[in-house]
A and B are shown apart, each in its own frame.
Chain A
Amino acid sequence: MKAVINHVRSLLDKEIRFDGRKLDQYRKDIFVEYGISNKSAEGSARVCIGETEVVAGIKFEVGVPYPDSLDKGTIMAGVELLPLSSSNFESGPPSIKAIELARSVVDRGIRESEAIDFKKLCIKKGEKMWMVIVDVYSINDAGNLADAIGLAAMAALKDARFPEYDAKLDQVLYDKRTTKKIPLKYLPVAVTVVKIGDKFIIDPSLEEEEAMDARLTVTTIEDGRLCAMQKGGDGVLTADDVSIMIDLSIKKGKELRKFIEK
């Protein structure tokens, strides 16, 4: 709605947000719950940021290693923006928005940061490897699904325990869960920074997302290094903008990471 977009923009000009938050403040009700589907999923989690809610689950499968990484296992990430969670999402195969989130927020963040030592997912070189499959679903969209999705994926990975694998029968024994965790070297955290006018805000609400000029989702690890970046929105970002947004992401990433450091 134009009336609302204009209002968001004019208030933001004076550094005021609808809900009274500071520009770089997350909503105060953030929580992470582990093992929400632990009877079926090998790892699972639920993340809420304000009223935005997502759930993530992990399933392990055993497959044949790729020819260019015979001693490594792999991870596959999927995101579904469920029509259950918003009137803006339709039924059917993952939309381009969902695919973008799966690739840029979950997949790249984990893969490029080498948060998982994929060699440790190898079962038998050249023959068998573990595939870790992360699936994240939106439950309610109240803005900033991206950050919630990134956090939920990491939380589910932390929660995950390997099932047993029977090499003779070449079968995963799902009903026999071990206590072995996925070795995580880092916890990459995605933070979305939105540019409206000449202001930068964190954790956009739905109205702020509608009013945005551009956004940058930056995934960082503990030591502040960047491992993934994705620009979105129709507007243009200057190099200075990017610099500011990266600094914000590193700072806020540290805050958000606390929720999954346990």
Chain B
Amino acid sequence: MYDKRFDGRKMDELRECSAKVGVVPSAKGSAMFKIGNTIAIAAVRGPRNLYPKFLALPDKALLRCNYNMMSFSGSGDRVRPGSSRRDREISLITQKALEPVLMLDEFPGSVVDIFIELLQTDAGTRCAGICAAAMALADAGFKMKGLVSAVSVGLIGNKMLVDLDNLEEHHEEGNTDIPVAMISGEDGITLLQMDGFCKPEQMKKLLELAKKACSKIHEVQKKALLEGFEK
């Protein structure tokens, strides 16, 4: 029975997070998001010419995400360079998590490229990537109806937890991992995935926990975006 977390956190407690924008000065917008030992950086390039042309959308810019883990970012074996199937899936869900808040109709036929790199991973990587990417888009000055914050919630046995780390994701008691992305201050979920088993009542509670956690993350993102505007 998992009633004490490996790192001593409360069940609904997030790991320590920090964020910073402008980490890639040559990009239109960029940001770093760190949660526990997971470190993600994101940079936005565009809107710019899109190749290949057949991907172009007639009424707005295409949002294209590219998620990658650096080869030394995994705590075990070296990560083989190149785009894995997992990388490509995460790239797609990242795009889907951010699209609903973006208003890209001023740039039809072009592309906005978001590049996400993981420097160090300890679970919650796709969520960290989304948090960094959302800040990078705001840093670049794209019209957004809200900021997107993401965190994973889950179960170990029947215990509900927020922000599982790597050890917890591999807990012998079996675990359920649920990455969630939400729009700040709104009842809007833009990413929802689940790995494992869950009862419907548990899911309701977990989404409530996710909402609280996301709003804490939003505070961190907001603070990073406003830094540098001191008077």
**Which chain A residues have a beta carbon within 8 Å of chain B's beta carbons?**
36-37, 39-42, 44, 51, 53, 55, 57-59, 61, 78, 80, 82-87, 91, 93-94, 133, 135, 137, 139-142, 174-175
Partner pick for A51 among B25, B42, B115, B120, CB 8 A cutoff: B25
Once bound together, how far apart are the Cα atoms of A135 and B78, in whole Å? 10
Could you tell me if A78 and B81 are in contact, using CB atoms closer than 8 angstroms? yes
| Cα–Cα distance between A39 and B73 once the two chains are bound (Å) | 8
Q: Are A85 and B119 in contact (CB under 8 A)?
A: no
Q: Is the CB of B82 within 8 A of A93?
A: yes
Q: Are B24 and A37 in contact (CB under 8 A)?
A: no
Given the contacts A37-B70, A137-B70, A83 and B45 also touching, CB distance less than 8 Å: yes
Give Cα A84 to B115, complex, Å.
5
| CB atoms of A174 and B25 under 8 A apart | no
Chain B residues, CB < 8 A from A86: 26
| Count of chain A to chain B residue pairs whose CB atoms are closer than 8 Å in the complex | 94
| Interface size bracket, B side | 20 to 34
Taking a contact as CB atoms under 8 Å apart, the answer to whether B70 and A57 are in contact is yes
- Asked if A135 contacts B115 (CB within 8 A), the reply is no
Q: Which A residue's beta carbon lies closest to that of B68?
A: A82
Measured between C-beta atoms, what is the minimum distance from A195 to chain B in Å? 25
Q: With CB as the reference atom, state the residue of chain A lying closest to B25.
A: A51
B25–A140 touching, CB < 8 Å: yes
Name the B residues within 8 Å of A140 (CB-CB): 23-27
Asked if B121 lies at the interface with its beta carbon under 8 angstroms from chain A, I say yes
B75: chain A residues within 8 A (beta carbon): 39-40, 174-175
Contact B81 A40 (CB under 8 A): no
A40 touches B72 (CB 8 A): yes
Contact B26 A37 (CB under 8 A): no
Chain B residues near A141: list those with CB within 8 A.
26
B12 in contact (CB, < 8 A)? no
| Contact partner, B119, options A37, A42, A87, A133, Cβ 8 Å | A37
Report chain B residues within 8 Å CB of A39. Answer: 37, 75, 120, 122
The 9 closest A-B pairs by CB, nearest first: A57-B72, A41-B72, A59-B78, A84-B115, A37-B120, A39-B37, A135-B71, A84-B43, A40-B75
With a CB–CB cut-off of 8 A, which chain B residues contact A44? 72
**Interface residues of chain B: helix, strand, loop or mixed (majority):** loop
Judge if B222 is at the interface, Cβ distance under 8 Å.
Answer: no
Give the distance to chain A from B103, nearest Cβ to Cβ, in Å.
23
Alpha-carbon separation in the docked complex, A133 to B70 (Å)? 12
Tell me, in angstroms, the Cα distance from A140 to B45 when the chains sit together: 12
B-side contacts of A40, CB under 8 Å: 37, 72-75, 120-122
Q: A136: shortest Cβ distance to chain B, in Å?
A: 10
B160 lies within 8 A of chain A by Cβ: no
Of A40, A53, A59, the most chain B CB neighbours within 10 A belong to: A40
CA distance A26 to B77 in the complex (A): 37
B41 at the interface (CB under 8 A from A): yes
Chain B hits for A61, CB < 8 A: 77-78
A83 touching B66 in the complex, CB below 8 Å, given contacts A51-B25, A139-B24: yes
Q: Contacts of A139 on B, CB cut-off 8 Å?
A: 23-24, 41
Interface string of B54-77 (1 = CB under 8 A from A): 000000000000101011111111
Q: B113 at the A/B interface (Cβ < 8 Å)?
A: yes
Q: Does B39 contact A (CB under 8 A)?
A: yes
Within 8 Å CB of B24, what residues of A? 53, 84-85, 139-140
- Which listed residue (A51, A55, A87) contacts B70, Cβ 8 A? A55
Q: Is the CB of A37 within 8 A of B73?
A: yes
Q: Is B117 an interface residue (CB 8 A)?
A: yes
B48 near A87: Cβ-Cβ < 8 Å: yes
Nearest chain A CB to B170's CB is how many angstroms away?
Answer: 12
Query: Which residues of chain B come closer than 8 Å to A137, judged between CB atoms?
Result: 70, 117
Q: Please, which residue of chain B has its CB at the minimum distance from the CB of A131?
A: B78
Q: How far is the CB of A122 from chain B (nearest CB, A)?
A: 20
**Which B residues are in CB contact (< 8 Å) with A55?**
70, 119
Would you give the 0/1 interface string for B110-143, flagging 1 where the beta carbon is closer than 8 Å to chain A?
Answer: 0001010101111000000000000000000000
Q: Enumerate chain A residues within 8 angstroms of B23, measured Cβ to Cβ.
A: 139-140
> Would you give the shortest CB distance from B107 to chain A, in whole angstroms?
16
A36 B119 Cβ-Cβ under 8 A: yes
